[in-house]
Chain A
């Protein structure tokens, strides 16, 4: 099957019906023809999060003509390219401002940013807090694998203290961000975290986020066996799934301040914020447009 798909991709210009999916799986229609196999390593969690997103598109019955996905740079950033929607693979860190432009220019669109922790919180950190502050009506799905996978496993803004990466060979000396706490503090109206073990909860959180009016944020804790796990002797992808099973605890009540992810520590999962607040567009209409057109 994979050989067949590779051959299909390599045929290039001979591709026919390239927008119509490529196989018999019921979810194939959400994928661009000939784009699979993907680039993700064996054991990587991004594919699971990606599948959850495709299932969310299906279960949530979103209009694929009116749903756009924007990615930045990195392993997670490649997700956009596989989806049979309008998809944009933009510059490093700038997926959120690009998505802001897309959404404000066409408010009929559902706009989802699918990207990684380094892209969204290091180089793009300023943009995520301002988009949350403005309450732009977009959904941000952040795959957090605690390192820069695409470039070979360097430390980043989520790398836990003491963890080893190729640029923290003695252990990471910097305090990491708690993405949940940060999203809440910046003003997000919906904030949830799940691990890639929680496929259904993750899917439903994506639907809740996309249905929420305003800035919604979903963190997906994901294994990176090639980069992060290997250097920290955390075991195989299966070992990490067992770790999530044994160490995740559901708590909707917990203050996001107490949801940090210490090295080899427990993982608080659940929906931490779900509030109502006027969106950027609501305020633009009520505060600006109504006065400008008097």
Chain B
């Protein structure tokens, strides 16, 4: 395993985080600005008894990732907007079959081909509900190459724990930014483990909920003879096309993440205790936000920052708490889209605090002098 201090970009750091987490399968398709993830994986996986395969498109890439995970491998893919759209089909399959897998999305500006080489954060809602039907996922947004390593490493554990797709919602700025990345020694990282124990074969029911309402995962070739179907199914995995089966299954798929949101959600808070304005941000946008909050504090303005490390599930409880304190007059949501997270903040603030959007359409990271006036306006 690679250890020590390295100078690498966010894409490469995602790949190294995956390798450190024991990822042994990568299927992908080249796309700017995510190609460096695939390139790094093609170099690294054969060194660690893994397999890299370049598929014919992103539909196939995601399908292969789901298949590989079903056969026991920790599996990942990486893409950007247009490829992310194609992957949605089998994200739904992974959600329905409850197959752990990790998708890295290095977000670029859209819609459509948009800005292949320039930044956007416009896939936030797509990450949540981009495939048809109701399901919940986990999405993590790194703000640096170091965090790209760490969150990708953690994403595999979360995927296995909740039997769910986990997204790394990085962006072109973080993906292509080169910074110091510290990779800890292998023995200081938790040993990658897909499950605590193999379930007993006698009386085994493949989709009977276990710990956290998550059924225990078994792999092809272990002799359990399971059937996993994208059709609505019962606890045996058999198709049951009824309203009752749908209610039972989909409610559980939602609950297993929603009811555990407080365990999953991670945020970083800066100067929040006495803040009258809280700037909510994530990914590369949080880097500018940090600068603006520091400047505001130097000027004696009561401004704080809430950085979403997990974008999904949403930090609903924390936003509600802050809105209820009476101290927070307003939230400013700084993001490179037209308000995908701002709507969530507004919903959770429930009218107790104002929500202002600092929304930018992408192509570049916004400057501090573009955000600061909006923060000042919120203070008035």
Instruction: Spell out A's residues near B (CB within 8 Å).
Output: 12-13, 15, 18-19, 32, 35, 64-66, 68, 70, 73, 80-81, 84-91, 93-94, 96-106, 108-109, 126-127, 130, 134, 280, 284, 288-289, 291-293
Contacts and interface: CB of A to CB of B under 8 A. Distances in A.
Q: Give the dominant DSSP class at B's interface.
A: mixed
Nearest to A92: B89
Contact of B67 (A12, A19, A98): A98
Nearest to A9: B238
B25 interface: yes
A35 B239 CA distance: 10
Nearest to B204: A19
B93 A90 contact: yes
A100 B67 contact: yes
Interface centre among A86, A288, A292 (most CB of B within 10 A): A86
B89 A126 contact: no
Interface residues of B, number: 49
B189 interface: no
A104 B238 contact: no
Nearest to A19: B225
Contacts, number: 158
Interface centre among A32, A64, A91, A104 (most CB of B within 10 A): A104
Contacts of B219: 106
B75 A32 contact: no
A105 B73 contact: yes
Contacts of A102: 67-68, 70-71, 220
A126 B227 CA distance: 26
A103 to B, nearest CB: 8
A206 B222 CA distance: 24
Contact of B238 (A35, A103, A108, A109): A35
A105 B66 contact: no
Contact of A89 (B47, B75, B92, B231): B231
B353 interface: no
Given A15-B236, A68-B220, 7 more contacts: A88-B220, A91-B90, A94-B60, A99-B67, A100-B67, A101-B27, A284-B46
Interface string B85-99: 000011011000100
Sort A-B residue pairs by CB-CB distance and give the 4 closest, nearest first: A101-B67, A292-B46, A101-B64, A101-B68
